Structure 1
Amino acid sequence: MLLDIRGFRFCSPARMLAALVFILLCVQPGHGQTCTEGFAYDRRARQCIDVDECRTLPDACRGDMHCVNQNGGYLCLPRSLYNQPYRPDTPALPNPVYQDPSAGFPDTFLPAVPGGGGGRGGVEPSYPRVRSTAQCILGYTLAEDGTCNDIDECETNSHHCNPTQVCINTSGGYTCSCTEGYWLIGGQCQDIDECRYGYCQQLCANAPGSYSCSCNPGFILNPDSRTCQDVDECEDEPCSHGCFNTYGSFMCNCDEGFELAADGTTCIDLDECSFSEFLCQHRCVNTPGSFSCICPPGYYVFEDGRSCEDFNECDTGNNTCTTAQVCFNFQGGYTCLDPLQCRPPYVEVSDNQCMCSAENPACRDKAFTILYRHMDLSSGRSVPADIFQMQATTRYPGAFYIFQIKSGNDGREFYMRQTSNVSATLVLSRPIKGPKQVVLDLEMVTVNNVINFRGSSIIRLTIFVSEHPF
């Protein structure tokens, strides 16, 4: 409701009361807060700002009145008198009315005194007179030069902000707000828990009016003090061998032949020899990061790096045999065979055969020929195994042949298996552990009932059993 007094429009006490409420109450910034009449909440500034009613309200001032915006309200002044300078010899301008209900009806207008000065006699002036003590609107004070200066309510401590609030001076008034890190709830500035709203990427610690961010192990805080960046631990070379960086951590790996220790960074040698006794054919020797196979004397390591191959000393000449002797190689060694010497009544018929003639009476109960042969055998060879074959070279009509072991088979490691009428095979029936030398006399008996003949021939087989099973 507006009152018209001699060309001026005044706001009703209700409108003036609303303006005063703005001065006494502080706008509550923050999410979900409301502002008093004449103010609107600015989310970016997080505080209440003045509303320009002269722009937002249609026909804020009616008739020939001019609208002037104020902090928390507005004024309506006659256009003909707006900004007209005051002069003592001219009718005084009405003091602009600030819509503040606490001020009540302004007393800036005084009735004219009958018979007053100015040559006007008792004529009552048609305009109100202004007291010289009320030249400025509420929130301003009259300066010596006649201008109105803003009153800093914050500096003069004439504000009504809560002790937890901060006073901010404005033109013609002041605003009650909260410092950064607080928001206004129920008239009190309360701490904002920034951690609740995810201000930090990883770890957050709230503090009164503030907060601090930190990072998990393996991360460092970025210059923005909010986000975290992965630390490349491999740059500090924490691993004894290889390092692989991961998000927030790292992993160590080891070279071939090593394994990761319990600390996760140190590499220790892997004992490959402990994995299996079959890794090397003879003996395994562990080395840093690897292993090597060693063979016994008389052998060399084969191309596969694990097997042992016999070193043929007879072929390489790496032996001690004389020119008169014959070098015989066997697995893991060799032997020097002396020239054949036939014991009487045997006579030598070749370099490996002795014969006892049937015409010689001393040969009547003896084998007709003795043939000397040599062979080698691996220690512990699996059984049964065919190791030697014996066959008649001369065949007589009506004759048959008997094959048998005449001597040397004391341990019964061998037996003869006849494979045909004229041949037989020596079979190893029990494993023999070396090194050992076995001499067998293998006899072939020839029987001819037609002519009533019985005779025999012997193969004297010398077997060199090696020390190792290869």
Structure 2
Amino acid sequence: MHTRCPRQFSPQLLTFSPDIDECRTVPDACRGDMQCVNQNGGYLCIPRGLYTIVEREPAYSDTSRGYPEAEPYPLPPPPGPVAPSYPIVSRSAPCILGYTLSEDGTCNDIDECVTDSHQCNPTQVCINTAGGYTCSCTEGYWLVGGQCQDIDECRYGYCQQLCANVPGSYSCSCNPGFTLNPDSRTCQDVDECADEPCSHGCFNTYGSYMCNCDEGFELASDGTTCNDLNECGFSEFLCQHRCVNTPGSFQCHCPGGYYLYEDGRSCEDINECETGNNTCTTAQVCFNFQGGYTCLDQLKCDPPYIELSDNQCMCSSENPACRDRPFTILYRHMDLSSGRSVPADIFQMQATTRYPGAFYIFQIKGPGNEGREFYMRQTSNVSATLVLSRPIKGPRVLVLDLEMVTVNNVINFRGSSIIRLTIYVSEYPF
């Protein structure tokens, strides 16, 4: 609202005397809700609200607002009609700068932005105000040295991750593995596992994911698929005999005559003689060895030997044909693993009958040791041990005659006994 304020004058003085402050000397100089403002040679009555604004508004010389320097003007009166409590003066009061007098005698604000009467530079935006205008910048710009310059929002961390500054604005984006939130500034982790990118297991991480594989598989170079792990290629000792790779695992297999032990890797000999899974007749004796068995026929002693027991033949000293022959032949059987480490003590023999003044000689006699894989080591004056000196690869069957020679010089006696040892060498080293 625009209000005309009547002006009251004190009696005129022709002499140049100091101004009288009527607001202090004249009782009730202004009536009602009017405020008295002293003037040189008079005073003004104006609404109190307007006077408050005038007192609070400092003088300034911002030419950008359309005011000349060193000439302060009050802000426009507040809107809304105010009923005067004094007689209305017939003549119109002049309008303050920034207002124009209308035909009805009121003061209307001049829109300097529309009339292009402002002094804002081309980079600025004119904003009309009551009685003036201001020069400002659009959003995304700020005033620096009278010029509107772009604000680099990226410099101030407007975006949580990636930021691209553009004139007057900015744009946020996210790193791979994240998606932009509705606020267009912050980023949300993407759960890639929801799309099942892994062939086996998936573990979501912040901004990414990791694939893992089931036991027995290994992650391929693409990081998502799983390839079967060939455990058999890791070591030749994984299985005692043969390793067979399976998807995600492996299996150990044993040759015929063996079964897979509880550990799933070792092979144990099947004793066919105990299980009854053999082809021996009732007249034969089943002999088990590593990986197999054999059926032994009943002992038949070749003349001039006669059977002394189930496994022993004797040649009587009373028989002239037994001269220079071993007195007894004892039949024994044993098994031996192929490639057994050496040296190894594998068999022991000793004299069962001792004669005063006698001594004993132990030796390997006859064929069966052409490769010199064995030798006799005498451990006492009445005993000796058969020693394996070289590894033997199977399967093989070796027959050794281990001779014990008895010498008694007191009675001028020399005789011998033989243990005919049959050795079954297995095909495998177990």
TM range (shorter): 0.7 to 0.9
Q: What do you get for the CA RMSD once the two structures are aligned?
A: 3.0
One-letter amino acid of the counterpart of residue 454, structure 1 = R
One-letter amino acid of the counterpart of residue 40, structure 2 = D
Shift of 1:273: 1.7
Shift of 1:430: 1.1
Partner of 2:384: 424
Partner of 2:409: 449
After TM superposition, the structure 1 = structure 2 runs for residues 26-37 of structure 1, keeping only pairs within 5 Å, are none
Within the candidate set 328, 337, 359, 2:318 is matched to 359
Cα pair distance change 1:420/1:468, threshold 3 Å:
same
One-letter amino acid of the counterpart of residue 172, structure 2 = C
Asked whether 1:175 is paired with 2:134, we answer yes
Cα pair distance change 1:456/1:6, threshold 3 Å:
closer
Asked whether 1:321 is paired with 2:321, we answer no
Within the candidate set 431, 437, 457, 2:397 is matched to 437
Partner of 1:21: 63
Shift of 1:462: 0.3
Asked whether 1:86 is paired with 2:122, we answer no
For residue 317 of structure 2, give the secondary structure of its aligned residue in structure 1.
Answer: coil
The answer (yes or no) to whether the contact 2:396–2:425 under 8 Å persists in 1 is yes
Instruction: Specify every segment of 5 or more residues in structure 2 that has no aligned partner in the other structure, as ranges.
Output: 1-37, 46-56
The answer (yes or no) to whether the contact 2:61–2:67 under 8 Å persists in 1 is no
After TM superposition, the structure 1 = structure 2 runs for residues 44-63 of structure 1, keeping only pairs within 5 Å, are none
Cα pair distance change 1:85/1:153, threshold 3 Å:
farther
Shift of 1:366: 1.4
Aligned sequence identity (%): 77
Cα pair distance change 1:412/1:22, threshold 3 Å:
closer
Instruction: Specify every segment of 5 or more residues in structure 1 that has no aligned partner in the other structure, as ranges.
Output: 10-14, 27-35, 39-52, 54-67, 76-80, 101-137
Deviations 1:378-404 (A, max 9, x none): 111111111111111112222222111
Deviations 1:326-347 (A, max 9, x none): 1100011111111111111111
Could you state the TM-score of these two structures normalised by the residue count of structure 1?
0.73
The answer (yes or no) to whether the contact 1:143–1:149 under 8 Å persists in 2 is no
Q: How many residues align?
A: 377
Shift of 1:83: 7.0
Could you state the TM-score of these two structures normalised by the residue count of structure 2?
0.80
| Rounded Cα–Cα distance in structure 2 between residues aligned with 1:427 and 1:17 | 125
One-letter amino acid of the counterpart of residue 169, structure 1 = N
Partner of 1:251: 210
| Rounded Cα–Cα distance in structure 2 between residues aligned with 1:409 and 1:247 | 74
Shift of 1:69: 4.7
Deviations 1:122-157 (A, max 9, x none): xxxxxxxxxxxxxxxx4244154x544333333344
Partner of 1:70: 75
Shift of 1:19: 6.4
Shift of 1:406: 1.0
| Rounded Cα–Cα distance in structure 1 between residues aligned with 2:205 and 2:290 | 57
Within the candidate set 256, 267, 282, 1:297 is matched to 256
For residue 362 of structure 1, give the secondary structure of its aligned residue in structure 2.
Answer: helix
For residue 40 of structure 2, give the secondary structure of its aligned residue in structure 1.
Answer: strand
| Rounded Cα–Cα distance in structure 1 between residues aligned with 2:341 and 2:281 | 35
Cα pair distance change 1:303/1:328, threshold 3 Å:
same
Shift of 1:187: 2.9
Partner of 2:173: 214
Shift of 1:188: 2.7
For residue 235 of structure 1, give the secondary structure of its aligned residue in structure 2.
Answer: helix
| Rounded Cα–Cα distance in structure 1 between residues aligned with 2:275 and 2:252 | 23
The answer (yes or no) to whether the contact 2:64–2:120 under 8 Å persists in 1 is no
After TM superposition, the structure 1 = structure 2 runs for residues 47-446 of structure 1, keeping only pairs within 5 Å, are 69-70=74-75, 84=86, 86-88=88-90, 92=91, 95=93, 98=96, 138-144=98-104, 146-407=105-366, 408-446=368-406
One-letter amino acid of the counterpart of residue 417, structure 1 = R
| Rounded Cα–Cα distance in structure 1 between residues aligned with 2:307 and 2:201 | 75
Cα pair distance change 1:242/1:318, threshold 3 Å:
same
